Amino acid sequence: MDLSLLFGSAFLATWLTASVRLSGPILLAALGETFAERAGILNVGIEGTILFGALASYLACYYTGSPVIGLLAAIALGIFSNLFLAFMFVTVRASQVVVGIVFNVLALGVASFVYRVLMGEAASPQPVAMFKPLHLPLLSELPLVGPILFTQTILLYLTIALTALAAIVLFRTKFGLSLRAVGENPKAAEAAGIGVARMRYIGTVISGAAAGMAGGYLMLCEVGLFRDTIVTGQGFIALAVVILGRWNPWKAAIAAFVFGAADALQLSLQLFGAPVPPQLLLSLPYILTILAISGVFGGKAVQPAALMTPYEKA
């Protein structure tokens, strides 16, 4: 194969455009998880929440024809399901890892059952309306940069705006200071008048809203058809993005783009006919996840001191 064609501008534009688009759901889930972990909650259940968000957005959009309503339904179900998780994490003080894993398995079964009941076993998959890419005047016509940055869907730009908002809230507001204090030293935070349980509930619910939105992004911007395997481990990748991003929204955005680029690489290379085994390319995001969690990139991360530590008010 002609390497000049493979690594030419057409390939780079295709690959980088897909990289930016595919990083969106991962970044959304990671932003929400950052709030949860900053409050001391490891919400492993975001994998199942993303699946619930995808299902809710699909069904709502299928019956109403509106992607906006589909997105709102995904966020609502993400919040509702994570209220249950918050109850288990904070009030019951159950193991956060065990509850999260069981929730993911439960979500897969429930989503499959609900979809088959509502859509029918033998019914062929029906596509739903999706958010269309925007073509910003003049900017989208710029060489290379235009197609990559200025032909994305509105949800991608909303995700970038939410990244900036998350950074401001976490590091420039009293609420963010309280949330981080709860994740570092809940006893001192309680002594200072901060409700530890309340802040942990809020952090988990924010995580659920963002993960539900990530599921809506997957459905309404990338796939348009529901299937049981639509999430494919993106929730666990988001957990790695939080670690690699050092619990900072902007660094998480960079990490999410790296994972998005790894995911997009196999699509772009196959599109251009590269003689590389697709199974090897499909494994790239998961290899990066293992390396990120193990601390290969940037050394060992220092997590919030009270992460996964249940708190009982004295």
Q: What domains can you pick out in the chain, each with its CATH number?
A: 3-121+153-294 (1.10.3470)
CA angle 223, 228, 234 (to 5 degrees): 70
CA angle 303, 305, 308 (to 5 degrees): 85
Whole-Å CA distances, 30 to 94, 273, 291: 23, 33, 17
The pLDDT, as a whole number, for residue 298 is: 61
Prediction pTM value: 0.92
CB-CB contact of 41 with 203 (8 Å)? yes
Choice between 135 and 236, residue whose per-residue pLDDT is larger: 236
Instruction: Give the chain's mean pLDDT.
Output: 89
Question: Mean pLDDT: which of 35-49, 220-234, 268-282 is highest?
Answer: 35-49
Average pLDDT over residues 240-268: 90
CA angle 145, 148, 152 (to 5 degrees): 135
Instruction: Identify the three-state secondary structure at position 130.
Output: coil
Q: State yes or no: pLDDT of 122 exceeds 60.
A: no
Q: Could you tell me the two tokens for 48?
A: 């199942």
Q: Could you tell me the two tokens for 102?
A: 């069981």
Chain mean position to CA 263: 14
Q: State yes or no: pLDDT of 271 exceeds 90.
A: no
Average pLDDT over residues 117-122: 78
Q: State yes or no: pLDDT of 294 exceeds 90.
A: no
Q: How confident is the model at residue 269 (pLDDT cuts 50, 70, 90)?
A: confident
Chain mean position to CA 232: 12
Query: Mutual orientation of helices 234-244 and 284-294 as an angle, nearest 10°?
Result: 40
